[in-house]
Amino acid sequence: MENGRVVELALADCGLTGAVPAEVGRLTALRELNVARNALTLLPAEIGQLTSLRELCLTGNQLTSVPADIGQLTSLERLWLHGNRLTSVPAEIGQFAALIELWLWGNKLTSVPEEIGQLTSLTYLHLGSNQLTSLPAEIGQLTALTELNLTENQLTNVPAEIGQLTSLVKLNLTKNQLTNVPAEFWRLTSLGELYLDDNRLTSVPADIGQLTSLTWLGLYGNQLTSVPAEIGQLTSLELLRLSSNQLTSVPAEIRQLRSLERLDLSGNQLTSVPLEIGQLTAMTELYLSYNQLTSLPAEIGQLTSLEKLYLGDNRLTSVPAEIGQLTSLWGLYLNDNQLTSVPAEIGQLTSLEIFQLERNQLTSLPTEVGQLTSLVEFRLRSNQLTSVPAAILELEAAGCDVDLDDGVTVDE
């Protein structure tokens, strides 16, 4: 209350049903109204009388429409409409000249009015989890926008005008139906995070090398058969997801990604790993599972910051002795390969907590496995082991869960 007038009204999670009472329009001094997570089905036209309103939260109700009168709320800075049943938003939304944040995700929108381009103060726009098949070209007028989320729609393309959003820092287009993006897309040089996962992209142009501010790049779940050498220009990159594509190789220029901490190449058709991967010394997580690898380069031993190494479901017949240099490693996944042995140097991985070797062709284990005193999980089932070193008993005594086939004996 200020001077006897209501300026804030918080009615979230109050079990409200039906329509918001028309009398709400009398609270003309109201600056914040929160009726989130109720079962409201109707917003009255009188909502437009709340011309002092700066924040309006209607999240998690059952609204199917918003009255055109909402456009009279010209002082509105934040509007939360996500988690409703909206099939459209009125053109009058373009009158929110002061709007900074607009949350519309989790509705049933099939389109967005072109008037959205008038929201020139907007910095955050979330349109995810709707049924959008296209975007108006006017979206390119939102030049103050720093974050745009369009995930989980049905977009088959994005307008060239998206290239005008040069303030964008984060863009999420995950789970759409994009087969390509316009050339103008690569002008978004302020982008720090770009997510194009789970689309239908068959290629990435060399122009991607222009996005030198990128720290996170998601391209998993597409139909990529290659990535351009120019990806090496993304020297600020910390996360690169390329899993579940059709890659048969990785360019040697990947060596330039010296800031890279997480690299996911799982679920491709790789038969080898470039030697240059050893130069990615900042990397803590490397995912190479579900490929067709038959060997690993010795240079992998240079990744001394590595904490997780996923190599399961390949065709490895051996691992290099240099793997023993990965002394920061706490998770090593070598399951479902064709290994007949592991090197004695494995005993140097004294930080290792999870070691998966199940479903290989191991006939023996080096006694040095007894040095893995940090182990809590050791998976050895479905190999050709008839016996294991006595040190296994010491690991079990220390609390390690050792999973062995029935009948495997312990050496004396």
CATH of the domain at 368: 3.80.10.10
Residue 387 lies in a domain: yes
Residue 173 lies in a domain: no
pLDDT value for 212: 97
Residue 12 lies in a domain: no
User: 3-state class of 52 per DSSP?
Assistant: coil
Is 145:120 a contact under the CB 8 Å cutoff? no
Residue with tokens 């062995």: 404
Q: What is the pLDDT along the chain (412 residues), one digit of tens a residue?
A: 567 788 899 999 999 999 999 999 999 999 999 999 999 999 999 999 999 999 999 999 999 999 999 999 999 999 999 999 999 999 999 999 999 999 999 999 999 999 999 999 999 999 999 999 999 999 999 999 999 999 999 999 999 999 999 999 999 999 999 999 999 999 999 999 999 999 999 999 999 999 999 999 999 999 999 999 999 999 999 999 999 999 999 999 999 999 999 999 999 999 999 999 999 999 999 999 999 999 999 999 999 999 999 999 999 999 999 999 999 999 999 999 999 999 999 999 999 999 999 999 999 999 999 999 999 999 999 999 999 999 998 999 999 999 999 999 998 7
pLDDT value for 325: 98
Is 355:375 a contact under the CB 8 Å cutoff? yes
Q: Average model confidence (pLDDT) for the chain?
A: 96
pLDDT value for 5: 82
Give me the phi and psi of 185, to 5 degrees please.
-55, -35
pLDDT value for 197: 98
Residue 381 lies in a domain: yes
Domain extent, residue 298, equals 293-412
pLDDT value for 411: 86
Predicted TM-score (pTM) of the model is 0.94
pLDDT value for 52: 95
User: In whole angstroms, what is the distance from residue 74 CA to residue 131 CA?
Assistant: 28
Residue 405 lies in a domain: yes
Residue 248 lies in a domain: no
Residue 317 lies in a domain: yes
Identify how many contiguous H helices and E strands the chain contains and give both numbers.
Answer: 1, 22
Give the count of domains, the chain: 1
Residue 92 lies in a domain: no
Residue with tokens 């009015």: 113
CA angle 67, 26, 22 (to 5 degrees): 45
What digits encode the pLDDT tens for the residues 95-149?
A: 999 999 999 999 999 999 999 999 999 999 999 999 999 999 999 999 999 999 9
Longest CA pairwise span in the chain (Å): 87
Three-state SS annotation for 253-316: HHHHCCCCCEEECCCCCCCCCCHHHHHCCCCCEEECCCCCCCCCCHHHHHCCCCCEEECCCCCC
Contacts of 243 (CB under 8 A, 6+ apart): 220, 221, 264, 265, 266, 267, 268, 287
pLDDT value for 6: 84
pLDDT value for 218: 98
